[in-house]
């Protein structure tokens, strides 16, 4: 069965530093991969979506993610963290059905001033 692993329940970076949030999926290549962000008291918001058109996917707010089949990874990065990036980030993949999302446990990003 498909599964998603996010390394680190909490990640802390300094403002201006590189953000790297890790996501690995289980062995079979899922049809689609996603990163969502959840700000406090708000709904999940789509950051970016991989659809096999390109391995490097650019999203909103300066985030991007690279699909690496050999590493079964879809890590999220941003060159320079901003205080407003503090939130919880979720990686998700679809099952073969394409609509059912399988989610990681989430990583809370903390930005230090």
Partner 1 sequence: GAGVSQTPSNKVTEKGKYVELRCDPISGHTALYWYRQSLGQGPEFLIYFQGTGAADDSGLPNDRFFAVRPEGSVSTLKIQRTERGDSAVYLCASSSQGGSDTQYFGPGTRLTVL
Residue carrying the six token digits 């407003």:
84
φ and ψ of 71, to 5 deg: -105, 0
Nearer to partner 1, 1 or 113 (CB): 1
Give least dist CB 54 to partner 1, A. Answer: 16
Q: 107-112 and 10-14 as β-strands: parallel, antiparallel, unpaired?
A: parallel
Give least dist CB 17 to partner 1, A. Answer: 26
- How big is the CA angle at 85 (ends 84 and 91), to the nearest 5 degrees? 150
**What residues line the site for partner 1 (CB under 8 A)?**
4, 9, 31-32, 36, 41-46, 49, 51, 90, 92, 94, 97-106
What distance in Å separates the CA atoms of residue 51 and residue 40, rounded to the nearest whole number? 28
Nearer to partner 1, 69 or 96 (CB): 96
Number of Cα atoms under 13 Å in the Cβ half of residue 20: 5
Give least dist CB 79 to partner 1, A. Answer: 25
Give least dist CB 55 to partner 1, A. Answer: 18
Nearer to partner 1, 27 or 97 (CB): 97
């Amino acid at each position: 069965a498909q599964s998603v692993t996010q390394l680190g329940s909490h990640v802390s970076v300094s403002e201006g530093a590189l953000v790297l949030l890790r996501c690995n999926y289980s062995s079979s290549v899922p049809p689609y991969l996603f990163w969502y962000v959840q700000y406090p008291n708000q709904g999940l918001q789509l950051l970016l979506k991989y659809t096999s058109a390109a391995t490097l996917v650019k999203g909103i707010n300066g985030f991007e993610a690279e699909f690496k089949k050999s590493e079964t990874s879809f890590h999220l990065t941003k060159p320079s963290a901003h205080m407003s990036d503090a939130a919880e980030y979720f990686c998700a993949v679809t099952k073969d059905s394409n609509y059912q999302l399988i989610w990681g446990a989430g990583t809370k990003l903390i930005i230090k001033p």
